[in-house]
Amino acid sequence: MIGQVVVDGVTNGAMIGLGAIGLTLTYSLLRFANFAHGEFITWGAYLALLLTGALGTVLGGAPIGDLTFGWTLLAALALAMALTGALAVALDTLLFRRLRRQGTEIALVIASFGASLALRSAVEFIFGLQPLYYSHDIAMAVRLAPGMQATEDQLVLFGVALVLMLGMHLLMRHTALGRAMRAASENPLLARLVGIDVAAVVRGTWYLGGALAAAAGVFLGATVQLRPTMGFDLLLPLFAAAVLGGIGSVPGAMAGGLIIGLAEAAAVPLAGAQYRAAVSFLVLLAVLLLRPAGLFGKAD
Amino acid sequence: MLGLASYFAFFLTVALTYGVATLGLNLNWGAAGLFNVGVAGFMAVGAYVSAWLTAAPVASHWGGFALPIPLGWAGAMAGAGLAAAGLGAITMRLRADYLAITTFGAAVSLQLVARNAVWITGGPFGIAFIPRPFERLADRPFGFGLANLGLAVLVTALVWLALERLTRSPWGRVLRALREDETAAASLGKAPDHYRLQAFVIGAALMGLAGAMQAQFFGFIAPDNYLPVITFQVWVMLVLGGAGNNRGALLGAVVVWGLWALSGSALHLVLPPGWQARGASLRVVAIGVVLAGMLLLRPRGLIGEEATVSRHVPPAARAEPLP
């Protein structure tokens, strides 16, 4: 029982963490809560669905081993990440950057709320409201330990998620772009003064955040299902994870995602699956009451 | 002809209920700069509280106190105000956009409760047979519609007058001062969190009143009436009409509700039956694009913020340009 809660919580938490990384980075760099971030998850998942259809004719759709998906989905994942990153950059260029120039910061939040609805409804319009799947095969569960089981799909995708998160962490620590991103979110003016191209950093941040959100969307689509509201429904957990981890902290977002995932999984046997999303709200309230700067954040 | 007139009366009645919610949001955002993304949640609290207080008892869920409607509406305002006071106590001292995240979370969680706590809220099917005002006129649709419209106009006018007084009072000036320059206002001895919390609570109470009015005019509520898209609509009403201006808020409510209703009927006529659900999605895309375009091209809205100057300042001094 406890074992299964841990398995569910950790796999789900990895997904929330992936989504929260982009949210926390744009939040600290541009100082606004982007309500459209959940839609990158949805768009990533649906783009991958389109791409699996297109790629399946080239690569053949044969699954790998006992998994329900094959190389096609993994290739589609990479492409969907690239495209969703571009979508995030495009949204910034068309909407958010212009509003930033007008100097009305909070208008960004309203605009992101509008962009979120428009992007989500566009998916509803194109794909319809019914849930969709990458594969109709049934995923077989394997026993990890007494009372702990997961599907092989979950394990492989969890591994991919870990690799992505580790890669993102290393990128932030050891590359020029990562250092520039940290410097710009610390103090944009000072960063510009030492010759950092802040506009490029902003684009890079949107791109990476969008791409990681798309990965979360594909994992969610592969292990559960694709729905037009899949990303929007994750928005509250993403915000809770970002605030819990401390705004601007990549390890914080991952740890926050893990904690939210575990808390949700633990709440299901206690309160029922229908109240799952409210868990994030309670965690969020607790963090804001006790430690508003979050686990890894600096006090304002 | 009379049918069309009753439809128009009903349309205006609903538009005015949104007008009351938009006026509440205008007090939050336009006057105090508070970013409330939980409009739908506060409207839901008001609607359910009023439904519990005024409806006749039923076995299937809680409530059913069969109280008069004015008491239901007062309770709705108190309930939504209390919810806002609780949330505000936690978030007022924090960064402005934490309020956005928290109110969003509250609205989502309240919707979950409304949908799932069947023994309190009636679950997904909601609460029916909520007493409507002027029920005894119900067999004469036109008179009934007109009476309801009169009531909506009366309540909206009262709210409008009260807000005009409030925003022009010293209290309203403190709010605007805090919004424009918190440090300067605080240096004059105005406690920022204190004033902002008051504005947040009063605004949320008005949203609760709007929810209660809708519950009473429709006679029926369900959790799906309080999806995040409602919050968004009220925001569009305020931004389109012009934040910081009560007339703008009302104008925005009537215009946006009109466009929403018209585009709904137009799509209903034009699209084949299989495409109706998709047409509804397209309508939401359109309203999202309108909002984004409005923010980019005309951020002041149709009317824009009204300059309010104390009536104690002599007219000659008002036109004085800033150095």
- Gyration radius of chain A's alpha carbons: 19
Sign of CA dihedral A61, A65, A68, A70: negative
Cα angle value B93/B96/B100 (rounded, 5°): 115
Nearest to residue B20, comparing CAs of B61, B64, B65, B77?
B77
**pLDDT digits 0-9 by tens, B208-265:** 999 999 999 999 999 999 988 899 889 989 988 888 889 999 999 999 998 888 888 8
Q: What share of chain A is helix, strand, coil (3-state, %, to 5)?
A: 75, 5, 20
Whether B225 contacts B17, CB under 8 Å: no
pLDDT band at B321 (very low <50, low <70, confident <90, very high): very low
**pLDDT digits 0-9 by tens, A47-66:** 999 998 888 776 666 777 77
DSSP for B14-48, written as a single string: HHHHHHHHHHHHIIIIIIT------HHHHHHHHHH
**pLDDT digits 0-9 by tens, B167-192:** 889 998 898 888 888 888 888 888 88
Q: Per residue in A29-58, is it b (16+ CB within 10 Å) or e — as a string?
A: bbbbbbbbbbbbbbbbbbbbbebbeebbee
Kindly give, in sequence order, each residue whose CB lies less than 8 Å from that of residue A249, ignoring residues fewer than 6 positions away.
A24, A294, A295, A296, A297
Report the pLDDT value the prediction gives residue A120, as an integer from 0 to 100.
93
pLDDT band at A242 (very low <50, low <70, confident <90, very high): very high
d(CA A92, CA A123): 19
Hey, which residues does A226 pair with through a beta bridge?
Answer: A132
Of A225-229, A278-282, B100-104, B296-300, least confident by mean pLDDT is B296-300
Q: Is A286 on the interface with B (CB under 8 A)?
A: no
Tokens of B229: 């898209």
Task: Kindly list the domain boundaries of chain A, sorted by start residue.
Answer: 2-290
Chain A positions touching B295 (Cβ under 8 A) are 99, 104, 107, 110-111, 114
Report the pLDDT value the prediction gives residue B241, as an integer from 0 to 100.
87
pLDDT band at A273 (very low <50, low <70, confident <90, very high): confident
Tokens of B49: 């509280």
Please give the residue of chain B at the shortest CA–CA distance from A36. B288
Mean pLDDT over the full length of chain B: 87
Tally Cβ neighbours within 10 Å of residue A200. 12
**pLDDT digits 0-9 by tens, B73-100:** 999 999 999 999 999 998 888 877 789 8
- Gyration radius of chain B's alpha carbons: 20
| Cα A43–chain centre separation | 11
Q: What share of chain B is helix, strand, coil (3-state, %, to 5)?
A: 75, 0, 25
Report the pLDDT value the prediction gives residue A286, as an integer from 0 to 100.
93
Q: Is B116 on the interface with A (CB under 8 A)?
A: yes
- Checking if the pLDDT of B40 tops 90, the result is yes
Report the pLDDT value the prediction gives residue B323, as an integer from 0 to 100.
41
State whether A118 and B292 contact (CB < 8 Å).
yes
Whether B83 contacts B45, CB under 8 Å: yes
Instruction: Give the Å distances, CA to CA, from B124 to A100, B111, B220.
Output: 41, 10, 12
Tally Cβ neighbours within 10 Å of residue B221. 27
Tokens of B231: 């919050």
Whether A5 contacts A151, CB under 8 Å: no
Nearest to residue B219, comparing CAs of B65, B47, B17?
B47
CATH code at A2-290: 1.10.3470
- Distance from first CA to last CA of chain B, Å, rounded? 60
Amino acid found at A234:
L
pLDDT band at B19 (very low <50, low <70, confident <90, very high): very high
- Checking if the pLDDT of B271 tops 60, the result is yes
What is the three-state SS of B256-321? HHHHHHHHHHHHHHHCCHHHHHHHHHHHHHHHHHHHHHHHHHCCCCCCCCCCCCCCCCCHHHHCCC
Please give the residue of chain B at the shortest CA–CA distance from A228. B281
Amino acid found at A31:
R
pLDDT band at A209 (very low <50, low <70, confident <90, very high): very high
State whether A118 and B282 contact (CB < 8 Å).
no
Q: Is B5 on the interface with A (CB under 8 A)?
A: no
**pLDDT digits 0-9 by tens, A71-109:** 888 899 999 999 999 999 999 999 999 888 886 666 788
State whether B109 and A284 contact (CB < 8 Å).
no
Overall average pLDDT of the B7-25 stretch: 94
**pLDDT digits 0-9 by tens, A99-156:** 888 866 667 888 898 899 899 999 999 998 899 998 877 777 888 777 788 888 888 8
pTM here is 0.90
Whether A296 contacts A249, CB under 8 Å: yes
